[in-house]
Chain A
Amino acid sequence: MNTAPAIELKGITKRFGKVVANDGIDLSINKGEILALLGENGSGKTTLMNMLAGIYQPDGGQIYADGRPVQITSPKEAFLYGIGMIHQHYKLVEVFTAAQNIILGLDEGKLDIKATNAKVKTICDRYGFDINPTQKVYDMSISQKQTVEIVKVLYRGADILILDEPTAVLTPQETEKLFLILKNMRKDGKAIVIITHKLNEVMEVSDRVAVLLKGKYIGDVPTVETTPEKLTNMMIGHAVTLNINRPTYEHPFPKLVVKGLTCIDNEGVKKLDDVSFTAMGGEILGVAGISGSGQRELLESINGLYPATGSVSFIKDDDTSVELLGKTPMQIRQTGVGMAFVPEDRLGMGLVGSMGMTDNMMLRSWKSGTGLFVDRKKPENLAKRIWKDLDVVTPGTDFAVRRLSGGNIQKVLVGREIAGLPAVLTTAYAVRGLDINSSYLIYNLLTEQKMRGVAVVFIGEDLDVLLELCDRILVLCSGQVSGIVNAHSTTKEEVGCYMTSVGGKEGGR
């Protein structure tokens, strides 16, 4: 748009162990411009910006500030180049006032809180921030806390502001206000980067969009020259064939009927909003959606681990139904309906990391039998069977599962859940972090269950997998069902549109 780039990245690469988070990325950030950095979760947006903010150092490539090569080794140094980042999780001292938080860590000689308050006030007035410098942080709303973080960065003289998903926690009105402020700052000649995966916001506020996909730089376009549709395609990439075996089950039948499921979290945010669908026996129902769209809450509420309203009824073989909502996990187990759940957090919820396979098998059977003592014999046999059948690489059934590789941990978890001969099998990100072979093993296990007549719910993040593994795909968008499509006939683009807006309308046509 105008003048030379404030920051230029050339060939930036960052690895975490074997994972390449950023792969040879070139990007320029200009003064007086709002740049949207767009990409799915895990595409490497935050990692890239963290390198600008001095939190990570790149493994390869070079950063230029005002045309000079620089090394940014700490957030403090980032400020030397005028770079300030507002992170997703605010780091404020609750019992301090706004102004006290703003000057925290600054060495300005003698502390003159009055002068600070005045200076904070000036910044606020200049851009239209609505905070009181002497208000304590614990009295503030989330959006006010965010404002404090932004002012903190401006106070330190930042000209390049990076905001990591700034609207994730804001109401629509607050988002409007934030965008107004961002535009004011742009007028003032600041360079602004917002990390996001919300297309409508990109269209509304940005001047230019840069897209990342799986750590790679896809390209950038001026916002006026693009459409949400084109951006979606850039964001999800081309379809890849995976050759996942997908036999069909002759007559799928309703197994789990979910009606009007609604969840509200501690902070009053609606995580699920009137979600209704039917999971069929003999079918894999995929759940797609940008992460944080309510996937976790969906499975946890079905399994009695998250408070929700609405109804979740399990259809028995004799066509009578059992209501599961409002029951504890133990009560659900006692109804004998056969719910299996492979949670996202394998060691934090599905397994006990410090225990061996045998004791982990007991998580499902510890209560069985009368008397005071646990029965370790049956779980041990089960552990041995899974060890052999699924080729779990472990020295023995008493070896702490925490020390196994990700693939083997998942084999233990999925193996146990399947061993209970469930009628409904719900899984969250079942192949996340797994290598190719383990992933296919899991796909096959799930398909096997489907052919047994089990209703499988598969929350996934890789659209290619969802398209080839599932029979139907339910798409969640900000806690709402934005569409349910036939996985055999849909396209990646269609699912992508549903992911970014309810009904796929704004992003679709």
Chain B
Amino acid sequence: MSTEGKMPFVRLAKRDSMAPKEVWLIRAGSILLALLLGCIPILLAGSNPFVAYGVIIKGSLGRSTYIKQTVKTAVPLLGCALAIAPCFKMKFWNIGAEGQITMGAIASTYFALFWYDKVPSVLLLIIMAVAGAVAGGIWGVIPAFFKAKWNTNETLFTLMMNYIAIGLVSWLQGGPWEGRPGSQIIPTFKPQACLPKVLGIHCGWIIVLVLVFLMHLYMNKTKQGYEIAVIGDSYNTARYAGMNVGWIMMRTMLISGAISGLVGFIFVSGANNTLYNGVASGVGFTAITVAWLSQLNAFAMVFISMILAILSKGSNTLQSLMKVPASISDIVTGILLFCMLGCEFFINYQLIFQKKKEADV
């Protein structure tokens, strides 16, 4: 007699392995599926999805000014995704990039506002960049320190730190750094404090592309990158191998925060030429999507950040041309994330359907 009658109809089993080719096929398929599913909200908004997708492409890449704007959107996304990649590899859930960007932006702004007439422009920009990186790095190390020392929850900690940083900007905006009294606005930077343009776009894009190579090297070829990978897989194995886990956590967050701080510098000096409390504009969070979708691969991040930038820029055009709300891009991005993360499930597991056997005894 057996009691197996209550076996579920479908059950999950872990896959042994899968050819890399199949893995990429599944991933490509999931993007396709996401675009198809994305048709639904567009249809609901009363448009032809294929036309809409066309408009998105044209609106983001159709003209050189569009391309420039798209790249401008992609640059901070890419930079910030690079920043959080090592943390996520280490399974340190840093969702505080937003705050680290903001702190970097504040530090850079200080020098832009008060040192612009003291040093030559190139030196000023370097000082601003370094100050941004240092401030972002410190902001990143704080939660790592508490995690290493007292095992606090880094997710909550980094999240809360975001609001402190943003609040700080609001105070500066309305207080000590306010330009015209009552304006609640920090004055626009002098030209000396603004990043020069290369090919029509502020040169932040060069900085992040260099970072792509550096981050790739760092994660895959250096001792520190190896330490990060070991900790991410198993804390105890890292201890066994003689790694000082707490110290490595702090060091990694310093680096991560510093890159985010640099993105903050690029924001104020390249994109906005001023500082306001929405300076990071959610990039710290969207970058998490970029990092995940790229499987923490630095080169893949270039493409993913471009795709998200295209969606976001293109849907603005969509809104003005076809009266489809621009939030469509957020919806499609969400569907994309859902499908791509969902497909990882099918890469790791397979469904086994229970054959029709004799029913319950």
Which residues of A come within 8 Å of B, CB atoms?
Answer: 57-60, 62, 71, 73, 303, 305, 328-330, 332-333, 341, 343, 345, 347-355, 359, 362-364, 366-367, 372-374, 403
Contacts and interface: CB of A to CB of B under 8 A. Distances in A.
Contacts of B327: none
Contacts of A373: 221-223
B233 interface: yes
B154 interface: no
A364 B241 contact: yes
Nearest to B17: A403
Given A328-B244, A349-B237, A363-B240, A374 B223 contact: yes
Nearest to A395: B17
Contacts of B222: 372-374
B24 interface: no
Contact of B3 (A58, A305, A328, A341): A58
Nearest to A346: B237
A366 B227 contact: yes
Please classify the interface of chain B as helix (H, G, I), strand (E, B), loop, or mixed, using the class held by over half of its residues.
helix
Nearest to A364: B241
22 contacts: A71-B3, A73-B3, A73-B6, A305-B239, A330-B242, A330-B244, A341-B240, A347-B234, A349-B236, A349-B239, A350-B240, A352-B229, A352-B237, A353-B233, A353-B234, A362-B226, A363-B230, A363-B241, A367-B242, A372-B222, A374-B225, A403-B17
Contacts of B354: none
Contacts of A353: 233-234
Contact of B236 (A57, A348, A366): A348
A332 B242 CA distance: 9
Contacts of A351: 237
A355 B89 CA distance: 13
Nearest to B1: A62
Contacts of A329: 239-242
B319 interface: no
B85 to A, nearest CB: 16
Given A58-B3, A353-B234, A362-B226, A305 B240 contact: yes
Which of A333, A345, A373 is packed against the most chain B CB atoms within 10 Å? A373
Contact of B2 (A60, A332, A350, A363): A60
Given A73-B3, A363-B230, A374 B242 contact: no
Contacts of A333: 242
Contacts of A303: 240
A352 B234 contact: yes
B358 interface: no
B22 interface: no
Contact of A352 (B2, B17, B233): B233
Contacts of B224: 372
B168 to A, nearest CB: 35
Interface string B1-38: 11110100000000011000000000000000000000
Nearest to B234: A348
A349 to B, nearest CB: 4
A57 B233 contact: no
A366 B240 contact: no
Nearest to A365: B241
A352 B223 contact: no
Given A73-B6, A403-B17, A374 B237 contact: no
A251 B224 CA distance: 44
Nearest to B15: A403
Contacts of B225: 374
A333 B243 CA distance: 11
Nearest to B3: A57
A352 B227 CA distance: 11
Contact of B226 (A354, A359, A364): A359
Q: State the 3 A-B residue pairs at the shortest beta-carbon distance, nearest first.
A: A330-B242, A329-B242, A57-B3
Nearest to B360: A71
Interface string B127-160: 0000000000000000000000000000000000
Contact of A363 (B1, B221, B237): B237
Contact of A355 (B4, B6, B229, B242): B229
A223 to B, nearest CB: 33
B240 A349 contact: yes
Interface residues of B, number: 26
Contacts of B1: 62
A22 to B, nearest CB: 14
B221 A374 contact: yes
A61 to B, nearest CB: 8
Nearest to B221: A373
Given A305-B239, A363-B240, A57 B6 contact: yes
A344 to B, nearest CB: 11
A367 B223 contact: yes
A62 B227 CA distance: 53
A349 B233 CA distance: 10
Nearest to A51: B3
Contacts of B239: 305, 329, 349
B40 to A, nearest CB: 36
A207 B284 CA distance: 66
A26 to B, nearest CB: 16
Contact of A366 (B3, B4, B226, B233): B226
Contacts of A330: 242-244
Nearest to A367: B223
Contacts of B230: 352, 355, 363
Contacts of B221: 373-374
Given A305-B240, A330-B244, 14 more contacts: A57-B6, A60-B2, A62-B1, A305-B239, A343-B240, A349-B234, A351-B237, A352-B230, A366-B223, A367-B223, A373-B222, A373-B223, A374-B222, A403-B16
Contacts of B4: 57
A362 B225 CA distance: 13
Nearest to A343: B240
Interface in B198-242: 221-227, 229-230, 233-234, 236-237, 239-242
A492 to B, nearest CB: 33
Contacts of B2: 59-60
A132 to B, nearest CB: 31
B233 A355 contact: yes
Interface in B230-261: 230, 233-234, 236-237, 239-244
Contacts of A73: 3, 6
Nearest to B239: A305
Nearest to A74: B6
Contacts of A305: 239-240
A343 B4 CA distance: 37
Contacts of B244: 328, 330
Contacts of B227: 366
A497 to B, nearest CB: 34
Given A367-B223, A374-B222, A403-B16, A348 B237 contact: yes
A352 to B, nearest CB: 5
Contacts of B242: 328-330, 332-333, 367
Nearest to A60: B2
Contacts of B226: 359, 362, 366, 374
Contacts of A343: 240
Nearest to A303: B240
Contacts of A350: 237, 240
A57 B1 CA distance: 12
Contacts of A403: 16-17
Nearest to A349: B236
A328 B3 CA distance: 52
B353 to A, nearest CB: 20
A330 B243 CA distance: 7
Contacts of A62: 1
A15 B17 CA distance: 25
A60 B3 CA distance: 8
